[in-house]
Amino acid sequence: MKMSISFFIFLLLLNCQKDNSFIIIENEPEEQFSQLFMKTDKNSYLPAEKITFTVHNPTDSPAYFEFCGPNLIIWIDKNTDNEWTPFSGTICIAIYPILNRALLSADSLSSYARIDEPGLYRLHISYDWTDRPELSESLFSNEFQVMN
Protein backbone atom coordinates (compact mmCIF):
# COMPACT_ATOMS: atom_id res chain seq x y z
CA MET A 1 0.00 0.00 0.00
CA LYS A 2 2.81 2.39 0.95
CA MET A 3 4.54 1.62 -2.37
CA SER A 4 1.40 2.41 -4.43
CA ILE A 5 0.89 5.78 -2.68
CA SER A 6 4.54 6.73 -3.29
CA PHE A 7 4.24 5.68 -6.92
CA PHE A 8 1.02 7.72 -7.30
CA ILE A 9 2.72 10.84 -5.86
CA PHE A 10 5.70 10.26 -8.17
CA LEU A 11 3.37 10.10 -11.21
CA LEU A 12 1.51 13.20 -10.06
CA LEU A 13 4.75 15.16 -9.74
CA LEU A 14 5.98 13.84 -13.05
CA ASN A 15 2.80 15.04 -14.78
CA CYS A 16 3.08 18.48 -13.18
CA GLN A 17 6.45 19.18 -14.78
CA LYS A 18 6.76 21.26 -17.89
CA ASP A 19 10.14 22.38 -19.24
CA ASN A 20 11.87 21.20 -16.06
CA SER A 21 9.80 23.49 -13.87
CA PHE A 22 6.73 22.81 -11.79
CA ILE A 23 3.37 24.25 -12.71
CA ILE A 24 1.89 26.08 -9.78
CA ILE A 25 -1.88 26.31 -9.78
CA GLU A 26 -3.22 29.24 -7.81
CA ASN A 27 -6.82 30.08 -7.18
CA GLU A 28 -7.25 33.66 -8.29
CA PRO A 29 -10.28 35.59 -7.10
CA GLU A 30 -12.91 36.12 -9.76
CA GLU A 31 -13.23 39.71 -10.88
CA GLN A 32 -16.92 40.17 -11.53
CA PHE A 33 -16.46 43.90 -12.02
CA SER A 34 -14.72 43.55 -15.37
CA GLN A 35 -17.07 41.00 -16.90
CA LEU A 36 -19.82 43.25 -18.22
CA PHE A 37 -19.33 44.23 -21.82
CA MET A 38 -20.94 46.45 -24.41
CA LYS A 39 -20.59 46.08 -28.17
CA THR A 40 -21.99 47.86 -31.20
CA ASP A 41 -23.50 45.89 -34.08
CA LYS A 42 -20.92 47.22 -36.58
CA ASN A 43 -17.58 49.03 -36.62
CA SER A 44 -18.50 51.80 -39.05
CA TYR A 45 -21.63 53.82 -39.77
CA LEU A 46 -22.90 56.55 -42.03
CA PRO A 47 -23.93 59.88 -40.44
CA ALA A 48 -27.32 59.57 -38.67
CA GLU A 49 -27.36 55.78 -39.17
CA LYS A 50 -28.81 53.78 -36.29
CA ILE A 51 -25.99 52.52 -34.02
CA THR A 52 -27.37 49.50 -32.19
CA PHE A 53 -25.47 48.36 -29.13
CA THR A 54 -25.91 45.55 -26.64
CA VAL A 55 -24.84 45.33 -23.00
CA HIS A 56 -24.23 41.80 -21.71
CA ASN A 57 -24.08 40.66 -18.08
CA PRO A 58 -22.53 37.17 -17.96
CA THR A 59 -21.81 37.49 -14.22
CA ASP A 60 -23.66 35.91 -11.30
CA SER A 61 -24.82 39.31 -10.01
CA PRO A 62 -27.26 41.94 -11.24
CA ALA A 63 -25.78 45.21 -12.49
CA TYR A 64 -27.70 48.49 -12.13
CA PHE A 65 -27.94 51.08 -14.88
CA GLU A 66 -29.52 54.54 -15.04
CA PHE A 67 -32.65 54.96 -17.11
CA CYS A 68 -34.54 58.10 -18.03
CA GLY A 69 -38.06 56.73 -18.18
CA PRO A 70 -37.81 53.83 -20.66
CA ASN A 71 -34.41 54.87 -22.07
CA LEU A 72 -30.95 53.78 -20.95
CA ILE A 73 -28.79 56.83 -20.19
CA ILE A 74 -25.72 56.76 -22.43
CA TRP A 75 -22.82 59.09 -23.13
CA ILE A 76 -20.98 59.35 -26.41
CA ASP A 77 -17.24 60.02 -26.34
CA LYS A 78 -15.34 61.28 -29.39
CA ASN A 79 -11.65 60.73 -30.03
CA THR A 80 -10.04 64.06 -30.84
CA ASP A 81 -6.25 64.29 -31.11
CA ASN A 82 -5.92 60.79 -29.56
CA GLU A 83 -7.90 61.83 -26.50
CA TRP A 84 -11.43 60.74 -25.53
CA THR A 85 -13.69 63.70 -24.77
CA PRO A 86 -17.42 63.90 -24.02
CA PHE A 87 -19.38 64.53 -27.22
CA SER A 88 -23.06 63.97 -26.40
CA GLY A 89 -25.38 62.23 -24.01
CA THR A 90 -28.94 61.38 -23.08
CA ILE A 91 -31.09 64.39 -22.26
CA CYS A 92 -33.69 63.46 -19.70
CA ILE A 93 -36.80 65.62 -19.97
CA ALA A 94 -38.65 66.50 -16.77
CA ILE A 95 -41.63 64.21 -17.36
CA TYR A 96 -39.44 61.13 -16.76
CA PRO A 97 -37.77 60.16 -13.50
CA ILE A 98 -34.17 58.94 -13.51
CA LEU A 99 -34.21 55.46 -11.99
CA ASN A 100 -31.77 52.59 -11.65
CA ARG A 101 -32.84 49.33 -13.26
CA ALA A 102 -31.20 45.94 -12.87
CA LEU A 103 -29.68 43.95 -15.68
CA LEU A 104 -29.97 40.47 -14.25
CA SER A 105 -27.36 37.76 -14.35
CA ALA A 106 -26.90 36.18 -17.81
CA ASP A 107 -29.13 38.82 -19.37
CA SER A 108 -28.56 41.56 -21.93
CA LEU A 109 -30.19 44.77 -23.10
CA SER A 110 -30.04 46.61 -26.40
CA SER A 111 -30.54 50.22 -27.33
CA TYR A 112 -29.38 52.60 -30.04
CA ALA A 113 -27.91 56.01 -30.76
CA ARG A 114 -27.42 58.20 -33.81
CA ILE A 115 -24.44 60.43 -34.58
CA ASP A 116 -24.40 62.98 -37.42
CA GLU A 117 -20.77 64.09 -37.30
CA PRO A 118 -17.96 61.93 -38.80
CA GLY A 119 -15.26 60.75 -36.39
CA LEU A 120 -14.06 57.98 -34.07
CA TYR A 121 -16.45 57.29 -31.17
CA ARG A 122 -17.28 54.99 -28.28
CA LEU A 123 -20.32 54.69 -26.03
CA HIS A 124 -20.07 55.07 -22.28
CA ILE A 125 -22.56 54.12 -19.56
CA SER A 126 -22.46 54.22 -15.78
CA TYR A 127 -23.37 51.21 -13.66
CA ASP A 128 -22.92 49.71 -10.23
CA TRP A 129 -23.25 46.34 -8.52
CA THR A 130 -25.62 47.77 -5.91
CA ASP A 131 -28.77 49.83 -6.37
CA ARG A 132 -27.58 53.19 -5.03
CA PRO A 133 -28.23 56.73 -6.24
CA GLU A 134 -24.70 57.42 -7.52
CA LEU A 135 -23.43 54.81 -9.96
CA SER A 136 -19.67 54.52 -9.62
CA GLU A 137 -18.47 52.20 -12.42
CA SER A 138 -18.04 52.95 -16.13
CA LEU A 139 -18.50 50.64 -19.08
CA PHE A 140 -17.22 51.52 -22.56
CA SER A 141 -18.14 50.05 -25.91
CA ASN A 142 -15.79 49.16 -28.70
CA GLU A 143 -14.55 52.04 -30.84
CA PHE A 144 -16.45 52.73 -34.05
CA GLN A 145 -16.28 55.17 -36.99
CA VAL A 146 -18.90 57.49 -38.37
CA MET A 147 -17.82 58.13 -41.97
CA ASN A 148 -19.05 60.34 -44.79
Domain boundaries, the chain: 31-146
Q: How far, CA to CA in Å, does 129 sit from each of 105, 120, 133, 136?
A: 11, 30, 12, 9
**Least trusted range by pLDDT, from 77-86, 99-108, 128-137:** 128-137
Q: How far is 28 from 32, CA to CA, in rounded Å? A: 12
Question: Which CATH architecture group holds 31-146?
Answer: Sandwich (2.60)
Confidence of residue 47 (pLDDT cuts 50, 70, 90): very high
pLDDT tens-place string over residues 5-40: 444 344 334 344 444 433 333 334 344 445 899 999
SS3 content of the chain, % helix, strand, coil (to 5): 10, 45, 40
